[in-house]
Amino acid sequence: MRLEHDFLGDMEVPDDAYYGVQTLRAMENFSITGEKLDADFIVAMAIVKKAAALANIATGRLDPKIGAALVTAADEVIAGKLHDQFPVDPIQGGAGTSINMNTNEVLVNRALELIGEAKGRYDIISPNNHANMAQSTNDAFPTGIKVCIIRKSKSLLKALNYLADTLDKKAVEFKDVLKMGRTHLQDAIPITLGQEFASYASAVRRGIKRIESAMLSIHTINMGATAIGTGLNAEPEYIVEVARQLAEITGEPFVTATNLIDATNNTDGFADVSASLKITALVLIKMANDFRLMASGPRCGLNEIKLPPRQPGSSIMPGKVNPVMPEVLNQTCYQVLGNDVAVGMGVENGQFELNVMEPVIAFNIFNSMRYLTNAVNKFTKLCVENVQANEEQCQMWLDRSVGIVTALLPHIGYENSSMLAKEAYNTGRPIREIILEKGLLTKEAMDHILSPEEMTHPGIAGKDLLEKE
């Protein structure tokens, strides 16, 4: 054990630990979720500390030897090392001070090792004086959140593009599968299964654009704002340089906020990101529910599509297979909706010069992004890629429906169309049979009007034929 000291007193720290006394206090105080810090967030905090060290070296404030050791330590954490030295709970009081100090302590103790000194020799390299130089939790922590969100957005956007591309491929595959469209869960007019899948792809791509738009504000940082945005203890040169260093390290266009006080006490940019995730989740829920309905049955439901069987569906009913991938996508999206509520409450509860609720904001956004990424990838790979159309069933529902009578309105009028619908309902006879019996159209004209091409892409072909009629 080694003895470490802060202004509250002394504490013994395991000698092999790279964290220090303030991390230990956080472990005692905040045993809340039972979860660990997100790995991307640990990396993001190390990136912020590396940028700060390089900026302080560049402005001449930080000893290059100490700075180099801190940078090397940060690079090790960025590469995935020492992540087990971040034991603090993601949800904590103190506006993220414990996470910030956990990062400072790990980097400092590793830096001390690198220069041949013992852990805990904070008189040589200090978590507060060196690793936290020209910083406060109130600028380093939210900047770390933003770096992490950007890292996670790449995986999420990749997953959503994978889903949209796969849906587009299925739209082409199903372009000639005519089926009954529905409104109010009632028969409407025909549509192709391909058109439905293309509409899902379009909605997913709109979600991608929504997330990308929300990410724009995340590139605006408040590094150099220090405690409340006034920049106390941070030189103007540092403020410019730290943003430049962060942009260079990450390859992202980070810029300093024009009003650092605003950027320190307002967190509405995080609400934008969470809202974009929530709305995208709503789109995914609707699509997953459509899949479940179209696959319902298979004998006593719609049975218009066949989902890949992933597991036995019952412990008691032999042969039952459930739509488990749409179900898990739904449940994941419900969690994202709940997370957004927590984010919104966190954003609204900032007071004066700081929002102290950033830990819960970060925790829920990170979880939402990770959950969505995993669920979308699984849903695409294990469901959408191998979904099949049941063309015979689609045609059967189409033949039994009177919804196709709507396509006849421009050609035989509303009254005749209503008469056809009523007789078809009452007798159960096919619409086509009644049309020919009553001589309302020739077979050639009827076949054209009720063809898949004309009902789903009206007016493309057969114009001359209909004009003669």
Is 314 considered catalytic here?
yes
State phi, psi for 364 to the nearest 5 degrees.
-75, -35
Both tokens assigned to 457: 């892409």
Q: What is the 3-class SS of the chain, one letter each residue?
A: CEEEEECCEEEEECCCCCCCHHHHHHHHHCCCCCCCCCHHHHHHHHHHHHHHHHHHHHCCCCCHHHHHHHHHHHHHHHCCCCHHHCCCCCCCCCCCHHHHHHHHHHHHHHHHHHCCCCCCCCCCCCCCCCCCCCCCHHHHHHHHHHHHHHHHHHHHHHHHHHHHHHHHHHHHHCCCCEEEEEECCEEEEEEEHHHHHHHHHHHHHHHHHHHHHHHHHHHEECCCCCCCCCCCCCCHHHHHHHHHHHHHHHCCCCEECCCHHHHHHCCHHHHHHHHHHHHHHHHHHHHHHHHHHHCCCCCCCCCCEECCCCCECCCCCCCCECCHHHHHHHHHHHHHHHHHHHHHHHHHCCECCECCCHHHHHHHHHHHHHHHHHHHHHHHHHCHHHCEECHHHHHHHHHHCCHHHHHHHHHHHHHHHHHHHHHHHHHCCCHHHHHHHHCCCCHHHHHHHCCHHHHHCCCCCCHHHHHHC
Q: How far apart are CA 61 and CA 133, in angstroms?
A: 9
Question: Which residues, at least 6 apart from 123, have a Cβ–Cβ distance to it below 8 Å?
Answer: none
The neighbouring-strand residues paired with 9 are 6
Round to whole Å and give the CA distance between 89 and 362.
12
- N residues, the chain: 469
- From 31, 213, 314, 418, the catalytic residue: 314
State CA 353 to chain mean position distance.
Answer: 29
What's the distance, CA 377 to chain centroid?
11
Q: Please, which contacts does 111-114 make with residues 24 or more away whose CB atoms are closer than 8 Å? A: 111/66, 111/69, 111/70, 111/72, 111/73, 112/69, 114/69, 114/72, 114/73
* Residues taking part in catalysis: 314
